[in-house]
Structure 1
């Protein structure tokens, strides 16, 4: 009789993770990323693309792309068929501008996710919040590393709207978004808390960095 082959436990875990990654986003939908640094926004865009998203608008305060950033954009388009539009975060300085940004994203596909990364511009984030409230399709409104956005997050929470506010603990801060991206799957889960303080010493982050 032939031997029964068992799938290694770590392979089962990997297959499960891959299945989750593929189902996190839908190719038909679009996503908005706003932030101060284009490089941070691009890191998040790369993470989105690896999780089955390919229609993304990046609105950043820094407009000039480095040679490396241009190369990364090219690779995302070439090998992942990602459609990424770059624009200025100045658009959301006004409410009409924020609504225009959302319309542009809607032209790509149904807008389901909005990310704000260290924007440090409460009035602009407020405009984006107000403009996005007409979106019944919005599943995630995520504020990353932005203390100035706390009021917006609290108002969305009170209104029962999607909100995930992620901050570094006061004792440990980092400008590097990569540790957060490594656990973003878990943070976006439906049973995740709306307000999260995260530390570089958190076991989950330490594990993913090993």
Structure 2
């Protein structure tokens, strides 16, 4: 397996901020060309080149998000750190090979992706045609897991929410309640819904309490403004 194939799964997993000093240390410490793999892996765990939209995506551990940087500005983050290596052939003078991390990443690096957004895909994946994709979907606030794994206090809160939907939203109609609960479950699981919920009543009847909860605590404000 090549170095480039190895570094792809590590993109977006770093917990510490990218450090130019650390990248420089890894390059300076390299004793041979093959030793530079560690520096390449470090760099590619934070950055990946993209053809659509054109530029570079940067993983920012502080905000736990991906940021798009146009090519002309990427030099502010990835410096052209160089390292020279010398080999001595059996005859003749020593031969010099110079490595430039910026040139390698922007020109020689073949890991070029297209950006997509899919809650069901992993961060980096390939299509059936072999196209490399970067999934920019930032993730939901909740983690899908069996209902039996939740504490009893959570079950009580969920029961309260379901009761509110049944009594306030649906006027006690269980069939309508079941439909809405399944609809909300589909949204929370990231499925594409082919219908919308339309709520209409006077002010203060409790329409927004459920949608506000889902927006703030389930989906996250990055994915929704209203339901």
Structure 2 length as normaliser, TM-score?
0.18
Structure of higher CA gyration radius:
2
Q: Larger RCO: Structure 1 or Structure 2 (Cα < 8 Å, ≥ 6 residues apart)?
A: 1
